[in-house]
Structure 1
Amino acid sequence: MQSNDKSNVNLLWTGGWDSTFRLLQLLLQHRVPVTPYYLEDPTRPSTRIELDTMVRIGDHLRATYPHTRGLLQPIRVASVRDVVEDDEIDAALREIRRRMYIGSQYAWLPSFCKHNAIDAMELGVHVDDKVQALVRPYALESDHPDGYRHIRVDPLHAGTAEYRLFRYFSFPLFHIDKVGIDRQADAEGWSAIMDMTWFCHTPVRGRPCGICAPCLYTIEEGLARRVPVSRRVVSFFYRHLALPLKAPLRRVRASLRAGRRGSRPRAPGVP
């Protein structure tokens, strides 16, 4: 039976591959209570599919593993639109983006945690993830009382942009990649649940598109089988023809924006 002294885990769950694997570890291996959080982005076409996927997986877990009924808490859904902007976090993201581009979710995720007093929200950052490479020099590992490794950004690096941006998170999948997750899930008998997960941000007729960022990562990180063959063909041409142009275009746009800011007229008397 689940003991009452196990600590609750806050998990960012999207119904995707990485976060669902972590959910299964917590519920089925460590048997700890989990509060899942989902930040709804109204601009993302996959939002409804992701929410439906989480409900379906949750129902399956409660039916198949009755002990999870008391562990898996209701999903706490918040809107990205309601997240409070934070100057410190925005500045840290800008500083990091001058060295490495990471997604806009790293503006609102830490701000959400900060302004809701959430400490150590678990993120499914894994090997081959840009954020894993970014955080790795600053990572501090320790043994968690509930029996697993706990990885945070070391407070000794409090003066860095990495600490200011990622101090609110823990990284339980820090030493495993998507293929390793696949192997472990299969060994644990979780493959059927993992196949229920969703990852595409811009589905085409209810199926993965093959060209959004999660689809590209899924293909490049060894799980191309999860993308339909027809969309893999589209993805091949996109990755080899269109994608190489995106980074140069992004740099040009950033340069133009900086130029416009520098050419704005100053108020009278301002040097």
Structure 2
Amino acid sequence: MEYNILWTSGWDSTYRVLDLVLNKKRKIQPYYVMDTDRVSTDFEIEAMEKIKQMIEVKDPEAKDRIKPTININIKDIPPNEEITRNYRILADMSHLGGQYDWLARFADSEDIKGLELSVHIDDTVYGFVKDDIVKKDDGIDVFYTLKDNPSIESLKIFSRYNFPLLQLTKLEMEQNSMKFGFADIMEETWFCHSPINNKPCGFCNPCIYTREEGMGRRVPKPTLKNKAIQFASKVRRKVLR
């Protein structure tokens, strides 16, 4: 059995990759959506390559369980008015990142079912789907999927996903990674959207969420200097577009 997984080099999706290929000895097909307008893209790609190298050192056979990543340019994802409309309905109800619009459009355009989305218990998506999920077991894993008829029609933008981490926190993933022997690899994950001097900025949403979810040791202390650098960088990118 092969698992289709959205891998970004972040903590959650990397935990899932490591659990599958090192712990459960399963094959995976990674997908990565490239956003060339985001500063962190190169950092994410570099982190994924380093993580794959570390996986091979830990288990030389594991490299054959990771298929070459399928890269998708975000600009090549076709529009879908129905999905975008449903996304906006949900986003008006509570904060929901824009990635859940284009990820749903991507999965739909490629007709991918069972695409693994590494949402965990503290994610905003959890709040949307927690009352509309079904627990499933494929004999290897327990995971969750959206009900066929969710309480809110617009939740169907999540209908193509499997949620294998839905009942885990980041700290529980950290504990499990220590138990399974890949905690060192988890330290190479990347999360910041606006790195400064090759380090997390401390201000962007992923940095804030990482701190709030108990992983503050990985986030540098915010400084006014870094805030000014981050702001100037955003202005520069807008001018260059």
- Is TM more than 0.5 here? yes
AA aligned to 1:225 is R
1:259 is matched with which residue? none
Bigger radius of gyration, 1 or 2?
1
AA aligned to 2:202 is G
- Deviation of 1:228 (Å): 2.1
Gaps of 5+ in 1: 1-6, 238-271
- Taking the aligned partners of 2:109 and 2:199, their CA distance within structure 1 comes to 35
AA aligned to 1:195 is E
Task: Identify which of 168, 173, 194 aligns with 1:176.
Answer: 168
AA aligned to 2:190 is W
1:84 aligns with 2:90: no
3-state SS of paired residue (1:151): strand
Within 5 Å, which residues of 2 pair with 1:80-229? Answer: 80-145=74-139, 147-157=140-150, 160-163=153-156, 165-229=157-221
AA aligned to 1:14 is T
AA aligned to 1:221 is E
1:257 is matched with which residue? none
Question: Is the CA contact (8 Å cut-off) linking 2:7 and 2:32 kept in structure 1?
Answer: yes
Superposition TM-score, scaled by structure 2 size: 0.90
- Taking the aligned partners of 1:47 and 1:89, their CA distance within structure 2 comes to 25
AA aligned to 2:54 is H
- Taking the aligned partners of 2:8 and 2:152, their CA distance within structure 1 comes to 31
1:29 is matched with which residue? 23
Superposition TM-score, scaled by structure 1 size: 0.80
Write out per-residue CA displacement over residues 161-217 of structure 1, whole angstroms, 9 at most, x where no aligned residue. 112x10111111101111111111112121110001111000011000011111000
- Taking the aligned partners of 2:212 and 2:148, their CA distance within structure 1 comes to 33
RMSD (Å) for aligned C-alpha atoms: 1.8
The list of structure 1 runs, each at least 4 consecutive aligned residues, that deviate by more than 6 angstroms after superposition, is: none
- Taking the aligned partners of 1:35 and 1:158, their CA distance within structure 2 comes to 31
- Taking the aligned partners of 1:82 and 1:158, their CA distance within structure 2 comes to 32
Count of aligned residue pairs for this structure pair: 227
Question: Is the CA contact (8 Å cut-off) linking 2:52 and 2:63 kept in structure 1?
Answer: no
AA aligned to 1:215 is C
- Taking the aligned partners of 2:196 and 2:63, their CA distance within structure 1 comes to 34
- Deviation of 1:69 (Å): 2.1
Gaps of 5+ in 2: 228-241
3-state SS of paired residue (1:221): helix
- Taking the aligned partners of 2:95 and 2:24, their CA distance within structure 1 comes to 35
Taking only the aligned residue pairs, the percentage that are identical comes to 33
Question: Is the CA contact (8 Å cut-off) linking 2:23 and 2:180 kept in structure 1?
Answer: no
AA aligned to 2:201 is C
Question: Is the CA contact (8 Å cut-off) linking 2:132 and 2:151 kept in structure 1?
Answer: no
Which fold has the larger relative contact order, with Cα–Cα distance below 8 Å and residues 6 or more apart in sequence? 2
1:18 aligns with 2:12: yes
- Taking the aligned partners of 2:159 and 2:176, their CA distance within structure 1 comes to 28
1:63 is matched with which residue? 57
- Taking the aligned partners of 1:181 and 1:96, their CA distance within structure 2 comes to 28
- Deviation of 1:87 (Å): 1.1
